[in-house]
Every structure is written in C-alpha cells, then in structure tokens.
Amino acid sequence: MTNNLLEIKGLTKAFGGLVAVKDFFLQIAPGTLTGLIGPNGAGKTTVFNLITGMIMPTSGAVVFQGRDIVGLKPFQVYRLGISRTFQNIRLFGELSVLDNVRVAYHYRSDAGLFDALVRSPRFRDREREITERARELLSLLGLELRERELAKNLPYGEQRRLEIARALMAEPKLLLLDEPAAGMNPAEVGRLMELILSLKERFKLTILLIEHQMKVVMGICQQVAVMDFGELIAEGTPAEIQNNSRVIEAYLGRPGGAGVA
C-alpha cells in the first residue's frame, strides 16, 4: 500500500488506430507540484481527460486515494476531489463571475429543489455560505470587483484566474491545471507562479500542471514527467529533465537527423 494521492497505471487510450496515450504511468505524492510536459500532440491533455472521466481509457487504471476511478463520470470524479481547468478556457459565459464560482459548489448543498422553490431558511443559509466562500475565492484571485460581470466580458487573464477560482470552490485535493500560463506575458507569468504556489500552500493542494513555458515548469515544479507520442519518456526533478537526452531529442530532434526545428 502506497500513500500516493494519485497513481496512474498502464493507462492507454486509442482513438481508432491512433494511440494517444500508451502504457502511461505516473505517481503523485500528496502535497507535491508535478509538471507534465511534452511537445504538442504528446497526449498531455488526453491524460487529463482520462483522469477526470471525460473520456474512457482503452485500458489501465487511475487510482485516486486508493480507489480506481476509471468509469466514473466527470461530475463524480470532481466530487471525489479532483478538479481541473481547461487549455481553451471553458467558463459559463452568460453567467456572472460570482455565479461561475458558485455553481461549482452546488453539489455540496443539501438544500434541494423544494427549498429553492419556497426560499426556505435552509436554502437561504446554504446560499449565503456558498456566496461567502465564492467571494473569498474571488478576492484571493483579485476578481472581487468583477463579481457581477458576465464571465465572457472579462479580459483573458482574468478569465484564466476565474477558472482557477471555480476549480478551487469545492476544496479539491488534486488540482489539474492545463496550460495556466498560456497567452500570458512574462510579468503575468511571474505573478501566476506566485499565485499557484500561494494557493497550493493555503489550500494544501496537490497540483499536476501541463505547461509549455519552461520558466513555469522549472520554476515551481518539484517533479516533472515528460511525454512524447503518448508515452512517458522521462521523469525526475527539473534539473534531471533538462539534461535528459531523450527529452532534448523529443523537443529538438536527434543530433545529425533531418534538423528542422
């Protein structure tokens, strides 16, 4: 019995003849920050989709807190304590910023349909608790002045932060961030790194993040896993990865090969 929070064992996903993820292994210890990197099309996002139940693996297991979660639906995986953000931000555009966050806590409320219809005291209490928690998160992410705006009207960087706030709403144990720094300038990336570290500290999170910006990966990750063509090709500390010949090959090509960068 290990005490890893997440263990991915022999995960394989084939889309017809294309094997997007092939016999993939990964262990994540509680409280760590792991980076998942690799060239475009390596299968990183597919791994996220497999963990969160959005697609079914062809074979293999995803063990979260000692339990195989393969076959669970996304909302069930979320309720167990795994939440994620998306590479192409997926907010609820026509909902307000506040509601985007509040909706993510919905399942915890024991106030049901009838409570809502008659606005029972229990409904009011739960609604107030949810709203307080949502506001707390929004202010942590610097969005407290935006709460009544529609999510679709926020600038890009704030949309990314809102997605993180939403993902934190249900107190996840494992947070999956899919390219959180995409499209950000160097100053914003710096602030994002600090933010991720402080949120991790504050909420005792374990984080797995996909990232292309090496500054982020090398700067905050304790462990890095590298994928290429659906396979895990290297694993280790950022320093080890930087000097790994298979990684360099995956990114830059084989020395003396047809060298087109």
Partner 1 sequence: MKKVREIGPGWWALVIIVFFLLLLQGLIIAGLVNPYIQTILCYAGVVVISALGLNLIYGYTGQFSLGHAAFYGIGAYTSALITRLLPGWGFFALPLGLVAGALVAGVIAFLIGLPILRLKSDYLGIATLGFGMIMNVLFKNSDKVFKVMGGAAGMRGIARLTTFLWVAVIAVLAVVMLRNLVFSAVGRALVSIREDELAAEAVGIDSTRYKTLGFVIGCMLAGIAGGLYAHLYTYLNPDNFDFLKSIDVLLIVVIGGLGSISGTVIAGVGWALLLEGLRIVLPSAVQEWRMVVYPLVLIVIMLVRSGGIMGRNEFDFLKPADYRRR
Residue 107 engages partner 1 in binding (rule: CB under 8 A):
yes
Residue 117 engages partner 1 in binding (rule: CB under 8 A):
yes
State the Cα–Cα distance between residues 36 and 177, nearest whole angstrom: 10
**Neighbour order of strands in the sheet with 231-236:** 82-84, 174-178, 206-210, 33-37, 223-228, 231-236
Shortest gap between Cβ of 189 and partner 1 (angstroms)?
24
Instruction: Tell me which residues in 46-65 interact with partner 1 (CB under 8 A).
Output: 52, 54
Among 51, 130, 205, 208, interactor with partner 1 by CB under 8 A:
130
Question: With CB under 8 A as the contact rule, which of the stretches 97-105, 189-197, 209-217, 233-241 interacts with partner 1?
Answer: 97-105
Question: With CB under 8 A as the contact rule, which of the stretches 11-19, 24-32, 115-123, 190-198 interacts with partner 1?
Answer: 115-123
The long-range contacts involving 52-58, CB below 8 angstroms and separated by at least 24 positions, are: 52/77, 52/78, 52/82, 52/84, 52/176, 53/77, 55/13, 57/11, 57/12, 57/13, 57/21, 58/12, 58/13, 58/14
Residue 240 engages partner 1 in binding (rule: CB under 8 A):
no
Shortest gap between Cβ of 106 and partner 1 (angstroms)?
5
Shortest gap between Cβ of 155 and partner 1 (angstroms)?
19
Q: By CB neighbour count within 10 A (0-12 exposed, 13-18 middle, 19+ buried), where does 177 fall? A: buried
Measured in degrees and rounded to the nearest 5, phi and psi for residue 58 equal -70, -40
State the Cα–Cα distance between residues 33 and 205, nearest whole angstrom: 9
Among 104, 162, 196, 210, interactor with partner 1 by CB under 8 A:
104
* Closest to 147 (Cα-Cα) out of 131, 125, 160, 169: 131
Among 111, 138, 225, 247, interactor with partner 1 by CB under 8 A:
111
Helix axes 186-203, 156-168, angle to 10 degrees: 10
Residue 244 engages partner 1 in binding (rule: CB under 8 A):
no
Shortest gap between Cβ of 84 and partner 1 (angstroms)?
6
Instruction: Tell me which residues in 154-183 interact with partner 1 (CB under 8 A).
Output: 166-167, 169-170
Shortest gap between Cβ of 95 and partner 1 (angstroms)?
6
* Closest to 142 (Cα-Cα) out of 198, 76, 75: 198
Residue 119 engages partner 1 in binding (rule: CB under 8 A):
yes
Applying CB under 8 A, which residues contact partner 1?
52, 54, 73-75, 78-79, 83-84, 86, 90-96, 98-99, 102-107, 109, 111, 113, 116-119, 123, 126-128, 130-131, 148, 166-167, 169-170
